[in-house]
């Protein structure tokens, strides 16, 4: 799978479904108490490390960004899809949203107090995960928390239609929590908590909370 190919397919697919996606996920957090608990814990950890911005990478229509702001976190959103960013700006006026790619984050080194990737790694091929997590570590402060949400499983499936029946062309990759934890360890993170759950977010979802180690070579 060519990197630019999957990125282009992901961008085009979410540009196509942006409006219907926003309609379908807008109130999901109302139905997901365990996810809300992890987001609240993440917000507490960010505040404990000191003030600073938090990046919601792959923010989509901005619902997680807005929720984190309600929790008192200085969150802003980044998404590959310009149409998604337009929707996020319209639905959450006054919040910061910008177009960008998690494979090449345009953020300064050690500038983020925290980072969230909430079900946004699901389209990233295995061979690109290391590059993405390296960028996450680069932009996080030492000790800064990282929160990941993902679909649990072993398979990758091509999605050609979704969110209101609109055409899409993206692979959804399901991962085992131990594999995700190993990738984080290799990238210089220490996993502090993990959970699998079934909810409105995912038939079987995984949540991992980790921190950036001061030195990627340290255990």
Query: Would the pLDDT of 2 be above 50?
Result: no
Which of the listed CATH numbers 3.40.50.150, 3.20.20.70, 3.40.50.1980, 3.30.1330.10 matches domain 3-211?
Answer: 3.40.50.150
Amino acid 208: pLDDT: 97
Residues in Cβ contact with 208 at an 8 Å cutoff, skipping those fewer than 6 apart? 147, 148, 150, 177, 180, 181, 184, 191, 193, 194
pLDDT tens, residue by residue, 126-170: 999 999 999 999 999 999 999 999 999 999 998 787 777 777 788
Candidates 86, 171, 187; CA nearest to 134 is 187
% the chain with pLDDT above 90 = 76
CB 132 within 8 A of CB 124: yes
User: Strand 114-118 to strand 145-151: parallel, antiparallel, or no bridges (unpaired)?
Assistant: parallel
Q: What is the pTM of this model?
A: 0.92
Q: Is the dihedral of CA 182, 188, 193, 194 positive or negative?
A: negative
Residue 1 has pLDDT above 50, yes or no: no
Q: How confident is the model at residue 219 (pLDDT cuts 50, 70, 90)?
A: very low
Weakest mean pLDDT among 45-59, 151-165, 191-205: 151-165
Nearest residue to 216 via CA among 149, 148, 140, 113: 140
DSSP 112: B
Q: Is the pLDDT of residue 188 over 80?
A: yes
Please state the domain extents for the chain: 3-211
């Amino acid at each position: 799978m060519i990197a630019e190919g999957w990125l282009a397919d992901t961008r085009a697919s979410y540009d196509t479904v942006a409006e219907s996606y926003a309609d379908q996920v807008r109130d999901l957090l109302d139905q997901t108490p365990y996810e809300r608990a992890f987001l609240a814990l993440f917000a507490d950890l960010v505040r404990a490390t000191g003030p600073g911005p938090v990046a919601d990478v792959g923010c989509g229509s901005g619902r997680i960004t807005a929720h984190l702001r309600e929790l008192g976190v200085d969150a802003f959103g980044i998404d590959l899809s310009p149409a998604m960013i337009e929707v996020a700006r319209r639905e959450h006026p006054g919040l910061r949203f910008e177009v960008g790619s998690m494979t090449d984050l345009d953020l300064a080194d050690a500038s983020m107090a925290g980072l969230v990737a909430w079900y946004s790694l699901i389209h990233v091929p295995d061979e690109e995960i290391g590059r993405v997590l390296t960028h996450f570590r680069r932009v996080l402060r030492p000790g800064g928390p990282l929160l990941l949400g993902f679909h649990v499983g072993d398979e990758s499936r091509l999605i050609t239609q979704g969110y209101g029946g609109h055409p899409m062309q993206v692979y959804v990759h399901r991962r085992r929590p131990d594999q995700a934890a190993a990738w984080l360890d290799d990238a210089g993170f220490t996993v502090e908590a993990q959970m699998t759950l079934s909810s409105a977010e995912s038939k079987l979802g995984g949540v991992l909370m980790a921190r950036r180690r001061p030195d990627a070579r340290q255990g």
